Amino acid sequence: MMTLENGKPPTAGKQNGGFGQDAGDARNRPNYPDASPSTQALQVIEGEAYATAFLARLQAQQARAEELTTLVQFLDGAMLHGACRVLFKALEGKHHA
């Protein structure tokens, strides 16, 4: 169970189960609230790419509803924001630039 240290999330590492190889401080994770704007922008772009790929498969009639469910469960933070922006524009009938 993760607990707060001094009101802040603990740093990533083996003592907390880790967040991948050599994750370092929790602030280096892309969805940490204090992540750098460039890190968050990259996550938005990655989320947009996932959604765009899903829409391309959907248009080619090669996508299933379960794929969208899996995609949404996988994404969070800035990645989810980017994906939702693409999906919202698609529902409005606009193309993502």
> For the segment 21-44, what is each residue's pLDDT rounded down to a tens digit?
444 455 555 555 667 888 999 999
User: pTM (2 decimals)?
Assistant: 0.62
Q: What is the pLDDT of residue 36?
A: 86
Q: Which regions in the chain score pLDDT beneath 70? A: 1-34, 95-97
Q: What is the pLDDT of residue 14?
A: 39
* Beta carbons within 8 Å of 34's beta carbon, 6+ residues apart: 27
Give CA–CA dist 13/22, Å, rounded.
7
3-state secondary structure of 70: helix
At 9, the amino acid letter reads P
3-state secondary structure of 67: helix
